[in-house]
Amino acid sequence: MAGIKIVKEDCGKEIFDQFNDICPFGAFSFENDKLDVTAACKMCKMCLKKGPAGYITLEEDEPAQKINKDDYKGVAVYVDHVEGAIHPVTLELIGKAKELAAVINHPVYALFIGHNIEKKAEELLHYGVDKVFVYDDKRLQHFVMGAYSNCFEDFINTVKPSSILVGATNAGRSLAPRVAARFHTGLTADCTVLNMKENTDLVQIRPAFGGNIMAQIVTQNNRPQFCTVRYKIFSAPERAEKATGEVVSMKMDDDKKYNSLIQIKEIIKKEKGIDISEADVIVAVGRGLKSENDLPMVQEFADAIGAEMACTRPNVENGWFDPRRQIGLSGRTVKPKIIITFGVSGSVQFAAGMRNSDYIVSVNNDPEASIFNIAHCGIVGDLYEIIPELMEMIKKNPKGNETLEQEAL
C-alpha cells in the first residue's frame, strides 16, 4: 500500500521536531526514541519536499495491470421491470446509451431478465437498441437477487460490454453493486452527467462531499464500467414505428444458477403513494418558509394551479413534509413541465434533482441565490409578498393556471 515509510527510525528528537514542524496534520510521532508515521498522514508529501533527507521515503503501489479495452464492446442497459412492466428509467438510459455509443461507434445492448418477456423485449427495438439479450425462465418471474446476479454475470462473460447503465431503483441499487463486485470493477452511484472518451472510458459525474463539489470518476483499468442513474435525469428517445435490431435468447449453462436460497412465498402489493416524479407542475418551498403554519398559504397557491407540493431537505427534517415530497439527491428527482420554487437557495443537491425541468420559476429575496443560475425566470422578492399577489392574479382570472404560465413565459 502506498504511503510514507521510515528509512531511519533512530534519528533523534531534533530530526523528529523538523518533521513535526513541517507536517500540517501532525502525522509524525516519536515514541521510545523512534520516528514513526501515524494514520493521520494525508499524503500531502510536504515532508518529502521540505524535510531532512535520508530519513523517509515514498513507497508506491505496484502499477495496476492494464486491461485490453478492445476486448469489451458495447454500451448496455439493464431493463428494470416489475412483472414485465418496464420502468421508464430504462428508456431514458437507452437514450443516453445511444449518445455514448455513438462517440465510440459501439452497439447498444439491453439486458432483460424475467419470465414471459419476449414481447416486451421486442418493444425495446423500437427505441434504437441493437440487441436485447433475454433470460426468460419461470424461476426468474420475480426479482431474486442470487438468480438475477447470476444471469447478469453470465451476460457480461458472454457479451463483454464496455459500459453498463443501471436505473437507480430499489432493484437496480441492489443488483448493480453485487455484480460489479464480482468483476472487481468500479461502480458510480446516482450519476447526474455521463460522457464518453474516445478510448471508451466512461466519464461519470456526480455530486460529492455533501454536494459541495462535482466529482468526475473514470474507471481506467477495469471493465465493464458500472453506473446507476436516477429516473428523470435523462430524456427518453422517441419511439420509432419500425423496429430495428434483434432479440437474442440467452440461457445459463449451469441450470442450478437459476435457483436461489431465497424463496418468495407471497407478494403483497402496497397502495400507490406520493410520487412527485410524475407531476407536470410542482411548487417547491425551501428554508425561506419561516413556519409550518405558513404552509396553507403555499398549498392554496399550489391547488389553484394544479401543482404538487414539494420541498427541500430542511423542511423534511423539520417534520413539515413527508420525505417522499423532498426534491434532491437524497430525495426524488423530478422533471415537470414547470416548477416554481419559493425560498429555495438552490444547493447542488437540490438542483441535481430538478435542473432538467422544462421551465423553472424561482422566487428568492437573495439576488445572489444559486437557484437563479438555473432558473428560466427569477423573481427577487419575499415569498410572503409574491404568493398573495399571484393568488390575487389567479382569483381575478378564472383561467389562473394558464395566466400564470403566460406571465412566467
Three-class DSSP category at 321:
coil
* pLDDT given at position 409: 46
- Write out pLDDT tens, residues 322-367: 999 999 988 899 999 999 999 999 988 899 899 889 999 999 999 9
* In the chain, ranges of CATH 3.40.50.620 domains: 69-258
CA distances, 340 to each of 92, 301, 315 (Å) = 24, 11, 16
69-258 has which CATH code? 3.40.50.620
Give percent above pLDDT 70 in the chain.
94
Q: Which fold has domain 276-408?
A: Rossmann fold (3.40.50)
Rounded distance between C-alpha atoms, residue 151 and residue 313, angstroms: 38
Nearest to 346 by CA among 337, 338, 355: 355
Q: CA nearest 102: which of 217, 228, 198?
A: 198
Mean of all residue pLDDT scores within the chain: 91
Instruction: DSSP for 114-131, please give it.
Output: ESS-HHHHHHHGGGT-SE
Its pTM stands at: 0.79
Would you state the CATH architecture of domain 3-59? 2-Layer Sandwich (3.30)
In the chain, CATH 3.30.70.20 sits at 3-59
CA–centroid distance for 270 within its chain? 26
Query: What percentage of the chain exceeds 90 in pLDDT?
Result: 72
- Residues 43-62: pLDDT tens digits? 888 999 999 988 999 887 66
